[in-house]
Amino acid sequence: MKYVLGAIIACLVILFIINIVDLNRYVVRSVAIYDNKVKKKLKVCFVSDLHNYSCTPKFYEDIKEFAPDVILCGGDTITATKGRKQDRAYYFLKELSKIAPTYTALGNHEYRAKIYPEVYGKLYDEFAEKMEEYKIPILSNSSEYFEESNVKVSSVDIDRSFYKRFKVYHMDDDYIESLVGKLEEDKYNILLAHNPDYFKHYNAYGSDLILSGHVHGGLIRLPLLRGVAHPGIRFFPKYSGGVYDDNGKFVRYADSYVSSKNAVIRLIVSCGIGFHTLPLRLFNPGELIFITIDSKQ
């Protein structure tokens, strides 16, 4: 019995160490996408779910080395907690804006702070002021067009009701279009959509590429099962982190690199960078995602 107990304790210690390591590291994922609607190569750095976490200097150096044309933040850079200072989040955004033109979407934390000022005070106002100071446009049911590349980036803020716990709730077929307008099919369309649960609707809207986050990689990642938990208190979410094709099927990262020459790429879900509430990242380091979008020709 003592040997069994000893083995259990040893396993728990090992898992604790792995969790501490994963909480304090990140991996670089590289994705190459080819589409004939793209006129000129566009290098995109995608980051999501910082949650007021502090990044190492190497994190910023890696982004500089990639030399992105644009940096897209998928939301939840801040953590919506009343009275909590967001200094690390603002430092993060300021540093990104020095590297390349930076745009941010609203995650559920920014959105919550925006619509409930009676709860969170001036948190969203402060966030918006900082974005104006750093010249970082907030894409909120709005778009930015990169004419040279013929790439249009839009961001959709789905209602708080779609973040309720325990299940994926009904969404009307025309809901996404009602928020961001009719899709321009002659452009390569990127949609920043924080919650990947509604991939079916983003895909039906006609987006060429959807960038999401929110699920934090499922907190614990296991082979085959991948992410274990969902912020909405569900287990084994379908879209927890990684690259998915147009049917929502997981496309495995190969040596941290995947190309659309080998598979259709429609959805990229970032495992995020930081954490909130529960300091858990087991076999699930933070992610820094580099996306190169180019013409097939």
The pLDDT tens digits for 21-56 are 888 899 999 999 999 999 999 999 999 999 999 999
Sign of the alpha-carbon dihedral angle for 114, 73, 52, 109: positive
Q: Which pLDDT belongs to residue 253?
A: 74
Q: What is the identity of the amino acid at 119?
A: V
Mean pLDDT for the chain?
A: 92
Contacts of 14 (CB under 8 A, 6+ apart): none
Q: Which pLDDT belongs to residue 258?
A: 82
Q: Which pLDDT belongs to residue 255?
A: 61
pLDDT at 156 over 70: yes
pLDDT at 127 over 70: yes
Site of tokens 């025309």: 174
Q: Which helix (H) or strand (E) holds 151?
A: strand 151-156
pLDDT at 7 over 80: no
More confident residue, 140 or 165: 140
**Domains of the chain, with CATH numbers?**
2-294 (3.60.21)
Query: Over pLDDT 70: what percentage of the chain?
Result: 98
Model confidence band, residue 254 (pLDDT cutoffs 50, 70, 90): low
Q: Which helix (H) or strand (E) holds 201?
A: helix 199-205
Within 10 angstroms of residue 228's Cβ, the number of other Cβ atoms is 19
Model confidence band, residue 200 (pLDDT cutoffs 50, 70, 90): very high
Q: How far is CA 1 from CA 8, 10, 12, in A?
A: 11, 14, 17
Give the total residue count for the chain.
297
Nearest-10 Cα torsion for 216, 89, 28, 22: -60
pLDDT at 82 over 90: no
Within 10 angstroms of residue 249's Cβ, the number of other Cβ atoms is 13
Average pLDDT of 169-188?
93
What distance in Å separates the CA atoms of residue 271 and residue 246, rounded to the nearest whole number?
Answer: 19
pTM: 0.94
Does residue 62 contact residue 30 with C-beta atoms inside 8 Å? no
In angstroms and rounded to an integer, the radius of gyration of the C-alpha atoms of the chain is: 19
**Bridge partner list, 157:** none
In three-state secondary structure terms, 49 is coil
Q: Which helix (H) or strand (E) holds 177?
A: helix 175-180
Query: Over pLDDT 90: what percentage of the chain?
Result: 71
Does residue 258 contact residue 243 with C-beta atoms inside 8 Å? yes
